[in-house]
Amino acid sequence: MFDSVNFKLTQEEAGGIDFLSETTCYLEDIAEHTFKDGLSVITGKLGGLKVSVNHYQVKVCDGSLCKWYLGDNYQTMGRSDTQRAVEKLSDALHLPMDRAKICRLDIAQNFITKHPAEVYLNHLGLLKYSQRLRQPNSLYYVQSGGLLCFYDKNKEQQSKRDAVPDLYKGRNVLRYEQRYTKRIASQMNVPQVTASTLYDETFYMCLLNRWRDSYRDIQKINDITLNFKAMKTKQDLYKMGVLSLIEQAGGQVQIIEQINEALKRGDLTRKQAFDLRQAVKDACSINEGLTVQSDAIEELNKKVNEAVRFYR
């Protein structure tokens, strides 16, 4: 489930090795940079990984550890693969990379789906404490410590002019990715996260459960059906009226965006905007025959749950 992993190893953690004279010997495409404070930094490549070296530390970043070790990041790099990848990285750099601190961590899985990725993106709604950003082939939830990402993996691969593996050619491939970009240890409530932590079974399962639970916390947008047989009371009629308005506006996310714009213009007070947003959320969440769960969401729910169970 791991993809991009950024490492930082200090000279103290490496046992006093002279990084500039020793580690740079194992890199390709080397370039040297000297900054105003006199600090010399050498950058280079180790396969598809970028390595930055100065007197005090070595950083390995800006690349997929999964792709570097397995050949592509369509495959799933589990706990044992991660341990072997860190061991390979240690051998390649002649450094104890298992001691390196982790500065970025991506948990990801690719799903072969029945429908194109856009169908699933349209049914993923709001997420508390996150900013929802929709792009043509992707959906992002921006959070204080990272991102949740959903996107069309094949289109992303093709945009980079990378080959699509035969198994995935001509198929619908949706990728769900959780990126930790800062404060990883505090988010996971542990003293520190090093490379060896990644293949600790308890920590690994905690990451997978958080990946699954983050998906579950996203409000799912049901398919709206104007089912007049389900109306029993005036309150049901009011709810159906809200659902009809939501449908005409283009969906839950679109009408909430309109409410937010009205708030910015001053047409609504903060209290009025909150009440209207809540009414929209409540109407879309009802389970009284007025909405039906999308078959795409049922499929995705199953695949996310199975991914965690399979990699236990």
pLDDT per residue as tens digits for the range 224-267: 665 666 677 887 777 778 877 877 676 778 888 889 999 999 99
Tell whether the model's pLDDT for residue 112 goes beyond 70: yes
Task: Give the residue among 176, 59, 49 at the shortest CA–CA distance from 110.
Answer: 176
Q: How confident is the model at residue 188 (pLDDT cuts 50, 70, 90)?
A: very high
Q: Are 277 and 256 in contact (CB under 8 A)?
A: yes
Tell whether the model's pLDDT for residue 271 goes beyond 80: yes
pLDDT at residue 11 in the model = 93
∠ CA 46-140-117 to the nearest 5 degrees? 90
Q: What is the largest CA-CA distance in the chain?
A: 79
Q: What is the pTM of this model?
A: 0.83
pLDDT at residue 224 in the model = 63
Residues in contact with 214: Cβ distance below 8 Å, sequence separation at least 6, in sequence order:
127, 148, 178
Tell whether the model's pLDDT for residue 91 goes beyond 90: yes
pLDDT at residue 36 in the model = 73
Cα 127 to Cα 135: distance, rounded to the nearest angstrom: 16
pLDDT at residue 245 in the model = 80
pLDDT at residue 279 in the model = 86
